[in-house]
Amino acid sequence: MKKIWFPVTLGFLVFIVSFQLLKDEPAKEARVLSSSSPKNTEVTNIGTEWVKDDLESAPIKKNYTPATVVGENDGTGIRPDRIVIPSIEVDAKVQAKGYTKDGGMAVPDSVTDVGWFEPGTEPGRRGNAVIAGHVDGQYGPAVFFDLKKLQSGDELHVYDKKGNRLTYTVQEVVAYPVDQAPIRKLFGPTNKKALNLITCTGTYDKSAGGYLERLAVYTVLTDRTKA
C-alpha cells in the first residue's frame, strides 16, 4: 500500500514541471516584439554623428536626445474618425475619449470601436497621438486582438469624417508590464509626428480583473492624402 505514493508523487512532479514550463510568466521587463532598428530602442537618441565644431576644427562626437522644440513644421491635425490596418484586417470606428475618474485614459465600452485620447495630440500634428482598443471582450477577441502581429514597416491609415487620410508606418512593437509602461514616451512631448496604438497583452489576472501587460505599437506619419 505504501507504494501508492510513487505514482502520486510522480504525478505531482510532472504537474509542477509542466506547469512551470507552460505558464505565461508575467514579464518583469519590456519585451520588444518588433523593431525597425537593430537593437532595443528603448533609449532613442539622435545617433552618434561626427560634426565639425565651429571653434575647434577637430570633429566632436554628438550623442544626446534633443528636447521637444515647437517649430513651424508642426503640421495640421485631424479628428480621427476611422482607423484601417490592412495587415491585420482592422477597420474600426474611432471614438474621442478623455480621462477616467481616476485620471487614467478612458476607452470605449464597445469591443469593436477604438478610443482616441482627445486631450492629447491630434493625429497629423507633431506629438504623440494615442489610440487604444480592446484585445478581447468577456467572451472573445476584440478589435485589437491581432495588434501583436504587427511588424515594423507595416502601414496603417487614419481618416477624418471628410475622408482626409494619414498614413503611419510601424516603427516598433513592445509589450510592457502594466506598471512599467512608459506613459511619457507614449503620451508626452516628442518632435515626431507619432501615433501610438495601445492594447492589453500578456496574462489576464482574474483577481485584479485586468491584463498584466500593455502592448504598444509605435508608428510615425509617413504620408498625407487629401480627400
Partner 1 sequence: MKKLLASLSAVVLILGMFAPSVFAKDHADMAKVRGLHASPDAPAVDVYVDGNAVVEGAEFKAATDYMELPAGEHQVEIYAAGTKGSQDPVISANVNVEAGMAYTAAAINTLENLELKAIQDSMEAAEGKSKVRVGHFIPGAPAVDVGLVGRDAIFSGAEFPMVTDYKELDPGTYDLEVRTTDGTQLIDLSGTTLEGSKVYSAFAVGTADNPEVLLLEDSAAMPTSMPKTGFGGANDSNALLAATALGLAAMGAGFVIFRRRSEA
Site for partner 1 in 2-61 (CB under 8 A): 2-16, 18-20, 22-24, 26, 28, 48, 51, 53-56, 58, 60-61
Question: How many Cα atoms sit within 13 Å of 216 on the Cβ side?
Answer: 27
* Shortest distance (Å) from residue 172 CB to partner 1: 17
Total residues interacting with partner 1, rule: CB under 8 A: 93
How big is the CA angle at 64 (ends 58 and 65), to the nearest 5 degrees?
145
Among 34, 35, 95, 128, binds partner 1 (CB under 8 A): 128
User: Which residue stretch of 32-40, 78-86, 149-157, 195-203 sits at the interface with partner 1 (rule: CB under 8 A)?
Assistant: 195-203
CA 60 to chain CA mean position, Å: 35
* Shortest distance (Å) from residue 35 CB to partner 1: 20
* Residues 96 and 172: beta-carbon distance below 8 Å: no
User: Which residue stretch of 34-42, 131-139, 155-163, 218-226 sits at the interface with partner 1 (rule: CB under 8 A)?
Assistant: 131-139
Question: Which whole-number Å values give the CA distances from 151 to 33, 35, 124, in the listed order?
Answer: 8, 7, 21
134-193 residues in contact with partner 1 (CB under 8 A) are: 134-142, 144-145, 177-181, 183-184, 187-189
State the cell numbers at 142: 476584440
* Shortest distance (Å) from residue 167 CB to partner 1: 23
* Shortest distance (Å) from residue 1 CB to partner 1: 11
* Shortest distance (Å) from residue 32 CB to partner 1: 17
d(C-alpha 116, C-alpha 96), whole Å: 5
**Residue that is written with C-alpha cell 485586468 in the block:** 210
**Residue that is written with C-alpha cell 510601424 in the block:** 170
CA 174 to chain CA mean position, Å: 6
User: Which residue stretch of 81-89, 148-156, 159-167, 205-213 sits at the interface with partner 1 (rule: CB under 8 A)?
Assistant: 205-213
State the cell numbers at 5: 505514493
* Residues 121 and 127: beta-carbon distance below 8 Å: yes
Among 40, 62, 86, 162, binds partner 1 (CB under 8 A): 62
Polymer length in residues for the chain: 227
* Shortest distance (Å) from residue 120 CB to partner 1: 5
Q: Quick check: 75 binds partner 1 (CB under 8 A)? A: no
81-120 residues in contact with partner 1 (CB under 8 A) are: 99-100, 102-107, 115, 117, 119-120
Among candidate residues 184, 121, 195, 189, the one with its CA nearest the CA of residue 158: 195
* Shortest distance (Å) from residue 76 CB to partner 1: 10
